[in-house]
A and B are shown apart, each in its own frame.
Chain A
Amino acid sequence: AQSVTQLDSQVPVFEEAPVELRCNYSSSVSVYLFWYVQYPNQGLQLLLKYLSGSTLVKGINGFEAEFNKSQTSFHLRKPSVHISDTAEYFCAVSNSGGSYIPTFGRGTSLIVHP
């Protein structure tokens, strides 16, 4: 079985400041990792994904994440946030060789203040 832990339920930050949203996972097999963003009353949009290869992956809207196998982490970062980045962010993991149905974390609410 796989699981995802997003340690922070809410992250407040000022505009133009850097931000890191944390995600840790557990799995007994190789994984695929995803970050999704959800704006109010909308579905989820893929920000970025790690499938294989380089552990540093870049996504849309200036976000990037680093896969750390030894620490079983996939933290999301952005060097300078905008007001428009205020949203809910979900980390997800799926098992390679399994059902490929992703498991989602509980989400982190990023709140960007002016």
Chain B
Amino acid sequence: GAVVSQHPSRVICKSGTSVKIECRSLDFQATTMFWYRQFPKQSLMLMATSNEGSKATYEQGVEKDKFLINHASLTLSTLTVTSAHPEDSSFYICSARLGRGPITGELFFGEGSRLTVL
């Protein structure tokens, strides 16, 4: 149980275009999802916390208008990179927290999406 699926796993786009990444919890309801960005050989950088039915909470330094997050249902959150530029190229990982039981901080991660902006 507790499987998170992320799509697409790889995407290449031209500079100036927008890219949408989907994160789905397949067998559980996730009231809270998290979006991370990971640079090569580095740790995960939390970008935003996504709560179902409400606006996402962005971490300091993350551009809200650049990285649009929508958590439309208890099983789906999307990250849209708008007007992507080469510096947005990175590995983006979503994760979800179980919507039931005690909260401990344990997260279930998607497979990640590698974005390359040409």
Contacts and interface: CB of A to CB of B under 8 A. Distances in A.
Say if A and B assemble together.
yes
Interface of A: 32, 34, 36, 41-46, 49, 51, 90, 92-96, 100-102, 104-107, 109
B112 A43 contact: yes
A100 B103 contact: yes
Contacts of A102: 105, 107
Given A42-B111, A43-B109, A90 B44 contact: yes
5 contacts: A32-B104, A43-B93, A102-B107, A105-B43, A106-B43
Task: Indicate the size class of the contact surface on chain B.
Answer: 20 to 34
**9 tightest A-B contacts by CB?**
A94-B105, A43-B109, A44-B109, A106-B43, A102-B105, A100-B105, A100-B103, A32-B104, A43-B112
Contacts of A94: 104-105
Given A43-B95, A101-B105, 18 more contacts: A32-B105, A34-B105, A34-B106, A41-B9, A41-B91, A42-B111, A42-B112, A43-B6, A43-B93, A43-B111, A45-B109, A46-B106, A90-B43, A93-B105, A100-B97, A100-B104, A101-B49, A107-B42
Contact of B105 (A92, A105, A106): A92
A51 B104 contact: yes
A34 B105 CA distance: 9
Contacts of A96: 104
Contact of B42 (A34, A36, A44, A106): A106
Contacts of A51: 104
Contact of A101 (B6, B9, B34, B114): B34
Interface string B60-75: 0000000000000000
Nearest to A43: B109
Given A32-B104, A32-B105, A49-B106, A104 B44 contact: yes
Contacts of A42: 111-112
A35 B46 CA distance: 17
